[in-house]
């Protein structure tokens, strides 16, 4: 007697179709961060050794994008890069002369620049074993990083930060992005670079305002992570305010170390949760940048945000009274002005425009609002609500200090 297996096969297929899996794997990320001098001097091996890190026997194809503001400040930079490539022609194939691109927020305000860089990548037939080298400030690194991360699903990116802010903070991180539809960093990726090469000599050409602006991130990370570093900043404020190279170099390196430690050991390097623990002072800073059409540099806005949130921490009993004055004095000594008329801008309903920054800060990550405040010098604490009335009181304190 024949027996059919069809019902059993149907049951087996139905069980398979209804099944579910939890796919899990781990990807290890590692990238060197070098601090050097004279990166493009032919005798300096840092760049060429970085290119050869994974494939030492290849001749490596490279496309360079450079901040046009840096080109103005260092007119022979493109020639120096070309001379470096010729000196190491056995290992470097510079496929074109360095392309200047707009620096600052200009490069992040229009996707045209991203498309233009992608077009050049395609024209020069770069593949995923080639290198894109980005030389400039944080905004240019953000935009070029987006190009590298999204073209061919990822081309190796070497960052050469050329501002204090980029060397001690954004340049050593894992984020890329540009602004779009009126929102900061709306289009972006989390994509670690292949390497970060900090040439401290390139800071010499920076205008004083740019040097000062970069110090805000050092004060920020010291306040939330390292009391000893904050005391060092206070003790060396004169040297920092006059841009002594040894003080600037140590400040940049320590600040970068603290940021890298958070990325590696904070448990959420790609910000999948609702918190941005290193963004103390940033909810208002991001809003102020837009409100002033970026007349306020990022670091200048962050300094105001730090002072505002330090005062808010005192008013809510988190931070001991007097600590906010200590923080403000340091920021002012370094060269920051802790006030801008835009802070008091109101809507037609007489609501502070600045307070919209809280909602936008939350929407960027999703989930519940999470803001870092201070419970001590060197100790940050996360809160999930901020009282608008107390924010207004903190603003009044800021304004009163400027009137003295």
Residue 14: predicted pLDDT: 60
- Model confidence, pTM: 0.89
How far is the C-alpha of 232 from the C-alpha of 222, rounded, in Å?
Answer: 9
Helices (H), strands (E): how many in the chain? 16, 11
The CATH number assigned to the domain holding 126 equals 3.40.50.1970
For tokens 């201070």, name the residue. 374
Q: Look at residue 157 and tell me if it is in a domain.
A: yes
CA separation, residue 25 to residues 22, 28, 173 (Å):
10, 10, 23
Span 251-272, average pLDDT? 89
pLDDT at 306 over 70: yes
Residue 328 and residue 300 share a domain: yes
Which among 212, 361, 216 has a CA at the least distance from the CA of 286? Answer: 361
Q: Which of 205, 223, 241 finishes a domain? A: 205
pLDDT at 42 over 60: yes
pLDDT at 11 over 70: no
pLDDT band at 268 (very low <50, low <70, confident <90, very high): confident
Other Cβ atoms less than 10 A from the Cβ of 58: the count is 12
Residue 226 and residue 102 share a domain: no
User: Which residues are 66's β-sheet partners?
Assistant: 100, 135
Highest mean pLDDT among 12-16, 60-64, 258-262: 60-64
pLDDT, one tens digit per residue, over 331-342 is 999 999 999 999
Residue 134 and residue 105 share a domain: yes
How far is the C-alpha of 235 from the C-alpha of 233, rounded, in Å?
Answer: 5
Residue 301 and residue 178 share a domain: no
For a pLDDT cut of 70, what percent of the chain falls above it? 95
Q: Look at residue 280 and tell me if it is in a domain.
A: yes
Q: Look at residue 15 and tell me if it is in a domain.
A: no
pLDDT band at 267 (very low <50, low <70, confident <90, very high): confident
pLDDT band at 91 (very low <50, low <70, confident <90, very high): very high
Residue 2: predicted pLDDT: 55
Residue 297: predicted pLDDT: 93
Residue 247 and residue 277 share a domain: yes
Residue 315 and residue 185 share a domain: no
Residue 44: predicted pLDDT: 98
Residue 190 and residue 294 share a domain: no
- Which residues span the domain enclosing 245? 215-259+271-403
Residue 283 and residue 238 share a domain: yes
Other Cβ atoms less than 10 A from the Cβ of 203: the count is 22
Residue 114 and residue 50 share a domain: yes
pLDDT, one tens digit per residue, over 161-189 is 999 999 999 899 999 999 888 787 889 99
Residue 357 and residue 239 share a domain: yes
Burial string for 332-366 (b: 16+ CB within 10 Å, else e) reads bebbbebbbebbeeeeeeeebbbbebbeebbebbe
Q: Look at residue 369 and tell me if it is in a domain.
A: yes
């Amino acid at each position: 007697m024949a027996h059919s297996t069809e019902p059993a096969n149907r049951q087996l297929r139905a069980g398979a179709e209804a099944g579910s899996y939890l796919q899990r794997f781990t990807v290890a990320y590692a990238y060197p961060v070098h601090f050097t001098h004279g990166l493009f001097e032919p005798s300096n091996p840092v760049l060429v050794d970085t290119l050869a890190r994974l494939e030492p026997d290849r001749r490596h194809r490279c496309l360079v994008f450079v901040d046009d503001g840096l080109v103005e400040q260092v007119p022979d930079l493109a020639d120096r890069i070309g001379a470096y490539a010729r000196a190491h022609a056995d290992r470097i194939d510079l496929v074109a002369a360095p392309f200047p691109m707009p620096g600052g927020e200009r490069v992040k305000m229009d996707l045209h620049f991203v498309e233009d860089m992608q077009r050049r990548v395609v024209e020069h037939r770069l593949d995923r074993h080639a290198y894109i080298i980005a030389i400039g400030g944080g905004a240019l690194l953000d935009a070029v990083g987006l190009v590298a991360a999204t073209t061919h699903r990822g081309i190796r990116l070497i960052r050469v930060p050329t501002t204090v802010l980029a060397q001690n903070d954004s340049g050593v991180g894992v984020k890329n992005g540009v602004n779009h539809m009126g929102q900061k960093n709306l289009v972006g990726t989390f994509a670690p670079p292949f390497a970060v090469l900090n040439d401290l000599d390139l800071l010499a050409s920076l205008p004083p305002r740019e040097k000062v602006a970069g110090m805000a991130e050092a004060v920020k990370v010291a306040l939330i992570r390292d009391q000893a570093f904050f005391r060092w900043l206070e003790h060396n404020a004169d040297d920092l305010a006059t841009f002594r190279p040894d003080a600037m170099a140590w400040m940049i390196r320590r600040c970068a170390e603290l940021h890298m430690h958070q990325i590696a050991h904070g448990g959420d390097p790609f910000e999948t949760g609702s918190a941005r623990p290193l963004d103390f002072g940033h909810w208002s800073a991001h809003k102020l940048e837009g409100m002033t059409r970026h007349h306020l540099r990022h670091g200048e806005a962050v300094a105001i945000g730090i002072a505002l949130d330090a005062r808010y921490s005192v008013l809510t009993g988190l931070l001991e009274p007097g600590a906010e004055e200590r923080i403000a004095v340091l920021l002012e000594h370094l060269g920051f002005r802790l006030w801008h008329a835009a802070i008091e801008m109101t809507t037609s309903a007489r609501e502070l425009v600045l307070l919209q920054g809280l909602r936008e800060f939350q929407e960027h990550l999703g989930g519940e609002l999470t803001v870092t405040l201070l419970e001590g010098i060197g100790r940050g604490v996360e809160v999930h609500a901020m009282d608008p009335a107390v924010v207004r009181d903190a603003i009044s304190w800021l304004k009163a200090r400027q009137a003295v």
